[in-house]
């Protein structure tokens, strides 16, 4: 699960990481009030940041023509005007797609005087099953680009989960980032805090980009995370109710939310052939084989290993809410689950939804004969198939023939 | 022979009184697997279905029944504890079926298992089947949730992350009259006990396995590592399929580990690694068995 930047800042602060002063708001009046407070506390420059789950916000453009989802300003009145332009409008970035995201919250924060931008992230290294801290002197850039062009500028430190991050490891990282002298001890505190935020919150990613060397009012140098991204392991949310409460449904596709209510794993894609499959691997493979035969999958949909009649019906309802869908492929390998139960679910779903689109069904496995019988006895105009290849070819053909008519 | 388990392997089931564990313990018993014990803390002394003794701890179950392998069906929050209890009791093999275990729990489990003799398969996996001699492969060893009857005793090893995609491959083989030595589902999580590579090595060393189907999916780099080893060391024909070529980057496709992130873990890179290693790549998932059989 992804959370907003202002929420990530809260988690970091709870782990002892100092963040630039600031607050979140949802009205221009409130933005102005936060700005007044920050200016009264001595801030010279402020930043106003759209809170959506997307990178590239600064270069984004609002649908009303307003440019930039991240803006700097110097007065509370400017903060008010910027907030009024952003709030309630849809921001399009390179990551949101053309539909963009509605901005309903803003972070108003002190914009520090930045001397240098660094990069720091904690994530899981799957190849060794251990956490790894990645750091780079090339902050503020896309880390994938740094990894591709100048891999030597990324340092990695693995953490032994039995002992956690040791201070010497934080010192090694600080040293590699050039944070010696008076910045060494603050760097160790910061890196340890960021690792703690990763581990204690069951995060899958904590990314600080940029992590900045800043010059404070007293002319002293300090370290501040200027942007923060945190994703949390869905499987661990049960033990973090406070993070679960941070879920923002406005950031998720409505059909995916609906699917999750029925314990269905649904992801909307851009094609026009919907698929309904049991098991994630088989569901991916079904999408692949549709494309192999010239079609485009409209979704990923895993009904799980033991799908019920109700789940199959719900799955049909969800699939049919996607207006792009022109045909449906059902691919069930009923290992343990009874194919006849699935067939009964399909018949009920077709009747309930009044399905008019071509429907290809491939059933295999336990009690498959009874299942096939149930389907043919129902008198539906569905197209039976014997193998995955047969099913994919049939649905692609049916959809293209329908398009010609 | 076979790998990991034989029809003689004595199996215990952790979480045998839960509905999921009970159902699959019954199916394993019907398949002819020697399920010798169940473990549910607090229910020690009871009997499961009137024939399998239930113990409070894995250690007691091992001591009383001589079980060497375990199937873990406990809920996600308790799975790490259940796995390590099996390790502590000195089991040879723990197969964890549970889906939805927090990643950091598995990070700790893997660390705690370092230097121990127990092998972990899973989590979030369909388990293992070594088919038996009987009708519909009855009499084999089934640990987990795979349908036993789709198998047939023979000489092809199957290894995959996914459950239903494994069944698809097994069924393709069985329908062509070709049997399997052992079928292993290693699970769809980012941190798992046994990798594709670990299983490949076992198949390579198993005289009863003559060919291998290797099924991968997007995410991580385990398939690439397996392919590199095949290129250098594998003596047997290997055919493979990678699922997820059409999956959009940055989205998790059902399995917690099935995600293309930062340009890493793409199907394209994995397929290229397979081809470079001489692994026969099935063009579609319908051709997994045929691709291998053409190579043999």
Identify from A285, A287, A385, A392 which residue to disrupt to test chain B contact, counting B C-beta atoms within 10 A and taking the largest count: A285
* CB within 8 Å: B167 and A126: no
Q: Per-residue pLDDT tens for A279-308?
A: 999 999 999 999 999 999 999 999 986 677
Assess A162–B contact: CB distance below 8 Å, yes or no.
yes
Question: In b/e form, how buried is each residue of B21-44, taking b as 16+ CB within 10 angstroms?
Answer: bbebbebbbebbbebbbbbbbeee
Statement: residue B263 has pLDDT above 80: no
Question: pLDDT tens digits, residue range A25-75?
Answer: 999 999 999 999 999 999 999 999 999 999 889 999 999 999 999 999 999
Query: Could you give the angle at which helices B163-175 and A280-292 cross, rounded to 10 degrees?
Result: 70
User: Which SS3 state, helix, strand or coil, does residue A47 take?
Assistant: strand
B123 cis-preceded (ω within 30 degrees of 0): yes
The C-alpha of A388 sits at a distance from chain B's nearest C-alpha, in angstroms, of 6
Q: Give the pLDDT of residue B23.
A: 92
* Least Cα separation, residue B261 to chain A (angstroms): 10
Tell me the domain boundaries of chain B.
Answer: 10-121, 152-295
- Chain B residues with CB-CB distance to A280 below 8 A: 162, 188, 253-255, 258
Q: Which residues of B touch A277 (CB under 8 A)?
A: 164
**Rounded Cα gap, residues A8 and A3, in angstroms:** 7
pLDDT of residue B129: 97
Q: What is the pLDDT of residue A219?
A: 84
Residue A194 pLDDT? 98
Give residue A403's pLDDT. Answer: 82
CATH of the domain spanning B10-121:
3.40.50.720
Q: How confident is the model at residue B169 (pLDDT cuts 50, 70, 90)?
A: very high
The strands making up B93-96's β-sheet, listed across from edge to edge, are: B47-48, B52-55, B34-39, B10-14, B69-72, B93-96, B119-121
Read off the pLDDT band of A353 (50, 70, 90): confident
Mean pLDDT for chain A overall: 93
Which pTM was predicted? 0.94
Are both B10-121 and B152-295 of the same fold?
yes
Please count the CA atoms within 13 angstroms of the CA of B25 that sit on its side-chain side.
Answer: 31
**Backbone CA torsion sign across B174, B258, A312, B122:** positive
Q: Which chain B positions have a beta carbon within 8 Å of A287's beta carbon?
A: 244, 246-247
Q: Do A319 and A334 form a contact (C-beta atoms < 8 A)?
A: no
**Which tens digits make up the pLDDT trace of A77-95?**
999 999 999 999 999 998 8
| Residue B292 and residue B213 in contact, taking contact as beta carbons nearer than 8 Å | yes
- Give the pLDDT of residue A366: 81
Predicted pLDDT of residue A334: 79
ipTM of the complex: 0.92
Between chain A and chain B, the number of residue pairs with CB atoms below 8 A apart is 174
Is A401 tagged catalytic? no
Q: A374 Cβ partners below 8 Å, 6+ apart?
A: A340, A343, A344, A347
Phi-psi region of B73 (alpha: psi -120 to 50; beta: other; left: phi over 0): alpha
Tokens representing B99 are 């889906």
Which chain B residue shows the shortest CA-CA distance from A302?
Answer: B254
Range 115-154 of A in CB contact (< 8 A) with B: 124, 126-127, 129-131, 143-144, 147-148
Q: Which of residues 346-375 of A touch B (CB under 8 A)?
A: 364-366
Q: How much is the pLDDT for A14?
A: 97
CATH superfamily entry for domain B152-295: Succinyl-CoA synthetase domains (3.40.50.261)
The CA distance from A241 to B189, in Å, is 23
Confidence at residue B4, expressed as pLDDT on a 0 to 100 scale: 96
Rounded mean pLDDT, B54-74: 98
Statement: residue B209 has pLDDT above 80: yes
Q: Is pLDDT at B289 greater than 90 in this prediction? A: yes
Angle at alpha carbon of residue A12, lines to A8 and A16, rounded to 5°:
165
Q: What is the CA radius of gyration of chain B?
A: 18
**Residue in A closest to B76 by C-alpha:** A235
- pLDDT score recorded for residue A405: 74
Q: What is the mean pLDDT of residues A223-247?
A: 96
A111/chain B closest Cα distance in angstroms: 29
B248 DSSP 8-state letter = P
B103/A147 touch (CB, cutoff 8 Å), yes or no = no
My answer on whether omega of the bond before B209 falls inside 30° of 0, hence cis, is no
Note the pLDDT of residue A96: 87
The 10s digit of each residue's pLDDT in B76-101 is 999 999 999 999 999 999 999 999 99
* Lowest-confidence region among A206-220, B130-144, B225-239, B279-293: A206-220
More confident residue, B158 or A337: B158
Summarize the confidence of residues B269-289 as an average pLDDT. 96
């Amino acid at each position: 699960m992804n959370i907003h930047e202002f929420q990530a800042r809260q988690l970091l602060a709870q782990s002892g990481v100092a963040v630039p002063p600031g607050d979140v708001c949802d009205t221009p009046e409130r933005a102005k009030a936060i700005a007044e407070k920050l200016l009264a506390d001595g801030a010279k420059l402020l930043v106003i940041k759209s809170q959506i789950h997307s990178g590239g916000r600064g270069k984004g453009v609002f649908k009303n023509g307003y440019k930039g989802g991240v803006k700097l300003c110097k007065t509370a009145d400017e903060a008010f005007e910027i907030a009024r332009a952003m709030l309630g409008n849809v921001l399009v970035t390179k990551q949101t797609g053309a539909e963009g995201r509605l901005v309903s919250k803003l972070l108003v924060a002190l914009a520090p005087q930045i001397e240098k931008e660094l990069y720091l992230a904690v994530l899981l290294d799957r190849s060794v099953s251990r956490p790894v801290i990645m750091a780079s002197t090339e902050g503020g850039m896309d880390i994938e680009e740094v990894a591709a062009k100048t891999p030597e500028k990324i340092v990695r430190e693995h953490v032994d989960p039995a002992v956690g991050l040791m201070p010497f490891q934080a010192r090694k990282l600080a040293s590699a980032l050039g944070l010696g002298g008076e910045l060494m001890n603050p760097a160790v505190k910061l890196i340890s805090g960021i690792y703690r935020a990763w581990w204690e919150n069951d995060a899958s990613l904590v990314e600080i980009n940029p992590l900045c060397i800043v010059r404070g009012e007293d002319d002293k140098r300090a370290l501040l995370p200027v942007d923060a991204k945190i994703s949390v392991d869905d499987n661990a949310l049960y033990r973090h109710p406070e993070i679960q409460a941070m879920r923002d449904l406005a950031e998720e596709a409505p059909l995916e939310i609906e699917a999750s209510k029925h314990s269905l794993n649904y992801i909307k894609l851009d094609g026009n052939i919907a698929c309904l499959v049991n098991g994630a691997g088989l569901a991916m493979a079904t999408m692949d084989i549709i494309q192999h035969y010239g079609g485009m999958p409209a979704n990923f949909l895993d009904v799980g290993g033991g799908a019920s009649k109700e789940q199959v019906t719900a799955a049909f309802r969800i699939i049919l809410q996607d207006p792009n869908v022109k045909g449906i492929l059902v691919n069930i390998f009923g290992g343990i689950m009874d194919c006849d139960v699935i067939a009964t679910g399909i018949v009920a779903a077709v009747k309930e939804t009044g399905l008019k689109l071509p429907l290809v069904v491939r059933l295999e496995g336990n009690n498959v004969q009874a299942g096939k019988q149930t389907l043919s006895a129902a008198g539906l105009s569905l197209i039976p198939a014997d193998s995955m290849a047969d099913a994919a070819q049939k649905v692609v053909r049916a959809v293209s023939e329908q398009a010609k008519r | 022979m076979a790998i990991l388990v034989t029809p003689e392997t004595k199996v215990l089931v952790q979480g045998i009184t839960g509905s999921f564990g009970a159902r699959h313990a019954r199916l394993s018993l019907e398949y002819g697997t020697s399920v010798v014990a169940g473990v549910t803390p607090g229910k020690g002394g009871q009997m499961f279905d009137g024939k399998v003794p239930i113990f409070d701890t894995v250690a007691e179950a091992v001591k009383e029944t001589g079980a060497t392998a375990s199937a873990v069906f406990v809920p996600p929050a308790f799975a790490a504890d259940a796995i390590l209890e099996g390790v502590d009791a000195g089991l040879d093999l723990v197969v964890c079926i549970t889906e939805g275990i927090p990643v950091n729990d598995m990070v700790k489990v893997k660390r705690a298992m370092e230097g121990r003799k127990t092998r972990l398969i899973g989590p979030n996996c369909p388990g293992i089947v070594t088919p038996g001699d009987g009708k519909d492969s009855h009499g084999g060893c089934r640990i987990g949730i795979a349908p036993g009857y789709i198998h047939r005793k023979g000489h092809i090893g199957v290894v995959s992350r996914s459950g239903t995609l494994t069944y698809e491959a097994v069924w393709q083989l069985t329908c062509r009259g070709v049997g399997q030595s052992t079928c292993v589902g290693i699970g769809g999580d980012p941190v798992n006990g046994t990798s594709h590579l670990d299983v490949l090595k076992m198949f390579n060393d198993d005289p009863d396995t003559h060919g291998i189907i290797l099924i991968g999916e997007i995410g991580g780099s385990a398939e690439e590592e397996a392919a590199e080893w095949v290129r250098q060391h594998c003596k047997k024909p290997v055919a493979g399929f990678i699922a997820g070529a059409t999956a959009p980057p940055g989205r998790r496709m059902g399995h917690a580990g099935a995600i293309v992130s930062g340009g890493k873990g793409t199907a394209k890179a994995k397929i290229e690694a397979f081809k470079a290693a001489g692994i026969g790549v099935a063009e579609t998932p319908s051709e997994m068995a045929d691709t291998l059989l053409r190579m043999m």
